[in-house]
Chain A
Amino acid sequence: MKEPIKICELSVGDCAAVYHLQNAGTMRRRLQDLGLIENTVVECIGKSPGGGLGAYLIRGAVIAVRDEDGNHILVTPLEKDG
C-alpha cells in the first residue's frame, strides 16, 4: 500500500482511492454529495491549461476542483492494472 498523497498531486491518468477528506464546511458536504467518500476510486482526467484546477472522474462524472481544495483531499494511489 502506497503512502497517501494529495489528490492534486496525481498525474493525468493516475487512479487513486480516497483516503481521507480534510475539507471542512460546505466544500466537504459538496464533495460528499458528489459521492466522494473514503475508498471512492477516482481518476485524474486532466489539469486545466492555466493551472490551478484538476479534473477528476468521480463515480462516472468529471468534476473539476481547485488545487487549494484538492490539497485537503488525501488519496492512496492505485497500481495501474496491466
Chain B
Amino acid sequence: MGLTKGSVGKNAVDTGLEIRRRSPDDRVVALAGNPNVGKSTVFNALTGMNQHTGNWPGKTVTNAQGYCKTNQHGYVLVDIPGTYSLFAHSAEEEVARNFICFGDADAVIVVCDASCIERNLNLVLQIMESGARVVVCVNLMDEAKRKKISVDLTLLSQRLGVPVVGTVAKKKRTLKELVAALDQTIDTPQRREPMHIPYPDAVERALALPEAVLERGNLGRLESRWLSLRLLDCDKALTRELSTYLGTEFLRDEELCKAVDEAWEVLAENGIDSEALKDLLAEAAVCHAEKLCRGAVVYGTPTQYSALDRRLDKILTGKVTAYPVMLLLLVLIFWLTVTVSNIPSGWLSDVGFWMLERLSEGLYAIGAPPWLEGVLVDGVLRVLVWVVSVMLPPMAIFFPLFTLLEDAGYLPRVAYNLDRPFHRCNACGKQALTMCMGFGCNAAGIVGCRIIDSPRERLLAILTNSFVPCNGRFPALIAVLTMFFIGFSGGFIGSVTAALLLTAIILFGILATFAVTKLLSVTLLRGEASSFTLELPSYRRPQVGKVLVRSIFDRTLFVLGRSVAVAAPAGLVIWLLANVTVGDMTLLSHTAAFLDPFARLMGLDGVILLAFILGFPANEIVIPIMLMAYLSNGTLTDLSSLAATKDILVANGWTWATAVCVLIFFLFHWPCSTTLLTVKKETGSLKWTALAALIPTLLGIVLCILFTAIVKIIAF
C-alpha cells in the first residue's frame, strides 16, 4: 500500500536474494504471478509484512522474503517480480524465471487475477510444466464477482490436478484455505503427474527424442519434457543458467547433443524453424489455458471491462479531459497538502518550542555549561523542532494522497496519457510511472525504472528521475514559496496560490525531464524508441483508512529518524564551524566566504550553498542548516513561525530573487546520497552515477546564473 518505509530511502536498494531460514526445516515457497494481481498483498497478508503494493503492473521490482508459520511448517516466502511467462524477455523476468526454475523452492504459489484467469493460467501451465509443485491462488475474487465473472475453482482444480484456492487478499481470513492447501501440497510425498501442455504432432515427436536421453540423467527437480523443450528452444540466457544448475558436462553430453540434432531434423522436415517453434509453443500454452477455462470461468456480462472503468477512462484518459484532469489533480493534491498541513504545523511548533524553553530553563537550573545549551538547544533541537513542525506535516499529507492515487490505479493512466511526449524524446512511456514514483522518493523511483525493458530507455529514466522533487524537497519548496511569494495571511486565496505556484514548479521540473531526456537521446544515449506494452489495470477502491494510518505512521517515523540521524551531526558540524576561530574569523565565516563569490553568481550566498552541500544526506535538512548557520552568527533566535523564519532570512540579505534561485536549486541539484547510491547499484557504473549528479547540478547552476544575470540587467 503505497510507498512505505521499506520501499524508500536506503531500503529501496536491492541487496540481492539470500534465503534466510529460521530453522533448517523451513520450506521455501515462491510467490509468482502476472504483474498486478495482488501478489504483494497476498505476501503481506501471509507474512504480516508491509511490502509496497500499488495498483500498477511491474511494481514489485525486487525479490522480498518474509516468514509465515502454519500449524505444520515454517515457510520462507519469496515475493518475486511479476512476469507474464517463463520465456523471459527482460532482466527482471529473468530473475523471476531463474528463481522459479532453479531457485529450489519447495513449492510455488501462483497468484492469479480472477478477472483474467485465462491469461494467468498461461503462466500457471508453464510453471507446472517445469516440474514445480504448484498451488494456484485465484486472487481478487471480489473484483471478479463485481464484474459478474464466476470461477468454478473445483473444476479448475480437477483439470489442473493441483489445489486451486480463491482469495480476497485484503481479507486475511480468506487466506486460511490457501495456507491449508500449501501445507497439504508440501506434505504430499510423491510428486503429482506433471502438467503436459499438448503440442502439435511434429513438436511432440521432436521433443520426445532428447527427452528419452534426459530421462536417464539426474535433473534435480526439473521435468525432462520441459528441459527437452528448452534445449530445442535454445534461449542463450537460459542455457547459461542450465549449465550452472546441471553442470556444463551434462549439456555437452554427446548422446544428448545428437538427440537434439535429430529433433531439429524432425522439426525441419515439418517446415518448423526456430522462430516457428517459439510461436507454436506459445500458442499451445495459450490455447490449452483457454480450453481449461471453458465452462470453468463464466462471464455474466458480454464484456469484461466494466462500465464504471470505461466511464472513468473516458474522463481520465479522454482526448479533451485527460490533461486538464491531470493538472487539476496535481493542483488539488498540493492544495490539500498546503491547507491541511498548516493545522498540525502550528500546533507542533507551539508544543515543540514550549518544550525547548522548558529544557533551556532546566539546563540553566542545573547549572549546565552554556556551550551544552548552545549545541543541544540552539543547534540540534531547535532545528529538529523546525523540521518536525514545518517539513513533516506536508510530507505526511502528500504521501498518503499520492498513495491513494497509486492504489486506485491512476498512475498507469498517467503513463498512457504522457506516452506521446516521451515517445517524441525516444523514450518509454513507462518513464512517466517512474517519474511519479520520484514524487514519493527518488531512490524508489530509480529502482522502479526496472519496469522499463530497454536498457537505454531505462538509463534515460534513471538519469532524469531527480528532476521531480521528492517528498523531502516538497516542504522546503512550500516553505520558501509561502515566505516570499504568498505571505502569511493564509486563507483560501493564499493556499490556492501556493498550490498553483507549486504546480508550476513541478511542471517546470517535468519540462526539464523531457528536455534532458531528448537531449540525452540524441547524444549520449542515442537510439530509437523501442516497443513496449503497458497494462491498464482495473480501477480499485483504495483502502483509504489503511493507507492513511500506514503512510502517516511510516512517514512520521522515517522522517523523524532520518532528521535526527542527519540533523544532529550536521548541527554539531555547524556549531563547531561557528565556534572554532581561525585568524579573526570563525570556520563558518571562512567556509561561507570561500563559497560566497560563486554562490553570489548564482544569486545565492555562501551559507545557502554550504547548506545544500551539508544537506547531501537528506534534502529535508537543507533549510534548517541554513537557519542554524545564520543563527549561529546573529542574535535573532526566534524560529517559532515561518514569519519569524522569514525575518531571519531577510536579515541575512534574502530578497525575492534569492528565493527564486533557492527554488531553482532545490529543483535541480545533486540528488541525495541515497539516490546516488541507488543509481550506482542499478547501473553498476560510476560514470552514470556521476552523470546523474552532474546533469541536474549543472542545469541548476546554469539556470540560477542566468536568472540572476537577467534580474541584474533589468534592475539597472
Which residues of A are in contact with B by a Cβ distance under 8 Å? 23, 26-35, 37-38, 40, 43, 45-53, 55, 57-66, 68-69, 81
Contacts and interface: CB of A to CB of B under 8 A. Distances in A.
Given A29-B278, A33-B84, A62-B536, A49 B116 contact: no
A60 B282 contact: no
Contacts of B85: 29, 33
B115 interface: yes
B310 interface: yes
Contact of B84 (A34, A43, A46, A49): A34
5 nearest interchain CB pairs?
A60-B116, A50-B420, A49-B322, A32-B282, A33-B84
A34 B417 contact: no
Nearest to A64: B534
B322 A45 contact: no
B279 A32 contact: yes
B419 A32 contact: no
B313 interface: yes
A34 B419 contact: no
B282 A49 contact: no
Given A30-B84, A34-B119, A65-B533, A46 B304 contact: no
Nearest to B415: A64
Given A35-B122, A45-B310, A64-B533, A55 B453 contact: no
Nearest to B89: A26
Contacts of B87: 29, 33
Contacts of A52: 419-420, 423
B286 A46 contact: no
B534 A50 contact: no
B318 A49 contact: yes
A46 B313 contact: yes
A59 B664 CA distance: 47
Contacts of A62: 305, 535-537
Contacts of A64: 416, 419, 429, 533-536
B303 A35 contact: no
Given A37-B287, A59-B119, A29 B420 contact: no
B421 interface: yes
15 contacts: A23-B531, A26-B531, A32-B286, A33-B84, A35-B289, A43-B305, A49-B317, A50-B419, A50-B421, A53-B534, A58-B119, A61-B116, A61-B535, A63-B536, A66-B429
Interface of B: 84-85, 87, 89, 113, 115-119, 122, 278-279, 282-283, 286-287, 289, 302-305, 310, 313-314, 317-323, 416-421, 423, 429, 453, 529, 531-537
B309 to A, nearest CB: 8
B279 A55 contact: no
Contacts of A31: 533
A59 B116 contact: yes
B252 to A, nearest CB: 28
Contact of A48 (B89, B113, B321, B416): B416
A58 B429 CA distance: 20
B657 to A, nearest CB: 36
B592 to A, nearest CB: 47
Question: Which of A27, A43, A49, A53 is the most central at the interface, judged by chain B CB atoms within 10 Å of its CB?
Answer: A49
A48 B305 contact: no
A60 to B, nearest CB: 3
A58 B278 CA distance: 20
B305 A29 contact: no
B286 to A, nearest CB: 5
Contacts of A27: 531, 533
A38 B462 CA distance: 37
A63 B305 contact: no
Given A48-B417, A59-B118, A61-B119, 8 more contacts: A26-B453, A33-B87, A45-B305, A49-B322, A50-B419, A60-B118, A64-B429, A66-B423
Contacts of A63: 533-536
Contact of B417 (A26, A49, A58, A81): A49
A53 B416 contact: yes
B419 A53 contact: yes
Contacts of B283: 32, 37-38
Contacts of B119: 34-35, 58-61
Contacts of B531: 23, 26-27, 30, 66, 68-69
B95 to A, nearest CB: 16
Nearest to A65: B533
A53 B319 CA distance: 12
A66 B528 CA distance: 14
B59 to A, nearest CB: 16
